[in-house]
Amino acid sequence: MTRVAAWSVIFAYSHGMQDFTPVRIESPPSGATAIPLVFDSPHSGRHYPADFAYACNFQHLRKAEDTDVDDLYSFAPALGATLVSAEFPRSYLDPNRRVEDIDTSLIEGQWLGPVNHSPKTKSGIGLIWRVLDDNSPIYARKLSVAEVSRRIEHCHATYWAALTNAIEAAHAAHGRMLHVNCHSMPAVAGTVSWVKTGTPFADVVLGDRDGSTCAPEMTALLAAAFRAEGLSVAINDPYKGVELVKRFGRPQENRHSIQIELNRKLYMNETTRERNANYGVLKASLERVMRKLGEYSQTV
């Protein structure tokens, strides 16, 4: 670990001649009162490793990013919360998947690790993505066992360790923990979605896996707070939350985890990935909502 600022830590490794920082952790600044609130942004990474060796169009590949979600939540440390962000792109490896959710058809040679496919893998977007949102292939090759193992070790394991450490520290210090899994979503459903292609999404989708990963009061508070900002809200429709909220959400132990999907039309041009004129407005709304959640986190 290398300290890069009073409030930020980066986990890094060297791959050949390339320095690559898989995970960034931003903690409350010195003197701030820490609260039991942890944010993570697993899909906003924009560092594309040299060993990715994809064969598709780069701008198309970037559509897999939750671009700028880490920046949208960059106020988190000032609230007294911790923010964990992936620096690698989800198309390289998706940390919001189980390590067993691996597409062996993409691997050259025999994979000796455990395999347990989810519907995500069957759609080509499991632990390591095989296709893009239009079902076009990412690679013109198979991946070696060694490179897949390297991605898991340096990206998946590092991300899960960093987030687990932040969550366990919050719970140990406060006897409770609230975790917000931060994402963005396209304005309408794409080809690999499990809903009809072209279906428009709400401004915000909250996912608590049908009430199993957090107290219902937490979901209700967030829904009301976002609606007070003039945003439309759906709950568990169509996004319920995947592996990270499933792993960390145990409300019976006062461990509450929820996924938040923000509609990209609110803050970006989905074609160019450029921020739009509403970016600052959304970020300010998001901070007001999360301040309310921060206050709630100290009473739950």
Question: DSSP string of 118-130?
Answer: -HHHHTT-SSS--
Contact 186, 201 (CB under 8 A): yes
End-to-end CA distance of the chain: 33
The pLDDT, as a whole number, for residue 190 is 73
Specify the pLDDT at position 86.
98
Domain parsing of the chain, residue ranges: 2-297
Would you state the pLDDT for residue 12? 38
Note the pLDDT of residue 8. Answer: 36
The pLDDT of residue 1? 30
Output the pLDDT for position 17.
30
Residue type at 114 in one-letter notation: P
d(CA 293, CA 296): 5
Query: What CATH homologous superfamily does 2-297 map to?
Result: Zn-dependent exopeptidases (3.40.630.40)
Predicted confidence at residue 277, as pLDDT, reads: 98
Going by C-alpha positions, the residue among 87, 90, 182 that lies closest to residue 128 is 90
Write out the chain's pLDDT in tens, 300 residues: 332 332 333 333 333 334 678 999 999 999 889 999 999 999 999 999 999 999 999 999 999 999 999 999 999 999 999 999 999 999 999 999 999 999 999 999 999 999 999 999 988 999 999 999 889 999 999 999 999 999 999 999 999 999 999 999 999 999 999 999 999 999 998 766 667 778 899 999 999 999 999 999 999 999 999 999 999 999 999 999 999 999 999 999 999 999 999 999 999 999 999 999 999 999 999 999 999 999 999 998
Spatial strand order of the sheet with 82-86 comes to 2-5, 8-15, 18-26, 82-86, 37-41, 177-185, 255-263, 204-207, 233-235
